Amino acid sequence: MATTTTTPAPDTSAPTTTAPASPMSPTELAEKLRSQNAPLLVDVRTPAEHESLRVPGSHNVPLDLLQKNKETLAEQFTGEIVLICQTGNRANQALQHLRAAGVDTARVLEGGVVAMEAQHSQHTQRGQQRWAMDRQVRMVAGSLVLTGFLGSKLISPKVGYLAGAIGAGLTFSALTDSCAMAAALNKMPWNKVEADPTVEKLLAEIPRSTAIQAAQTPAPRG
């Protein structure tokens, strides 16, 4: 007697995972900005960097502020979201924080605002010029290491410990994906703007922005 075998049906109760959205190219963002369905733009750089070079219409939500208030902000982040930083690194960090808060509609601007200006400068705007934060960190760290090396040769070998301390700090920064030096530099007078972003201000701005987007989106034809 022949026996028949049955193939078990696939388990549809198992949770499915959504593949992460690919980065958005500057060209794709430029096309969206020219359309009536522009995404919500969130710039996660420091206020000084945002003032120096930005995509007009972007909301400045510094990475540390977003990280501390991601659940509150996530409630306002509806529709398509584009995360912007200098070159893409901080935007990717912001993306992970938002995913942890349940936001799955965010994408990172590939190459950051630098790439946007290089490819579509008409969609960027410059203000008071300041060095980008990563450039300031490199300048300070390099200067301290050089001071430690020269001091160990000209003053005392003990001054060389300064270079070692900076190296240890940079190693810790890489391991923890944080930067105490950048946080300190952000408080310097030359990095201050007239009004720093606050959660209350952002919560007031973002709903208005998304409402404008909804009003601009053409209704589907019946």
pLDDT of residue 148: 85
Give 53's contacts (C-beta < 8 A, 6+ positions apart). 113, 114, 117, 124, 125, 126, 127
| Tokens standing for residue 129 | 């010029």
Residue 99 CB neighbour total at 10 angstroms: 15
Q: Quote the pTM value.
A: 0.64
pLDDT of residue 195: 58
pLDDT (tens, 9 = 90+) of the chain, 222 residues, equals 445 555 555 444 444 344 557 999 999 999 999 887 889 999 999 888 888 899 999 999 999 889 889 998 888 887 899 999 998 989 999 999 999 999 999 999 999 999 999 999 999 998 776 777 777 788 888 888 888 888 888 898 888 888 888 888 878 777 766 677 777 776 777 666 665 667 777 777 775 544 444 444 444 444
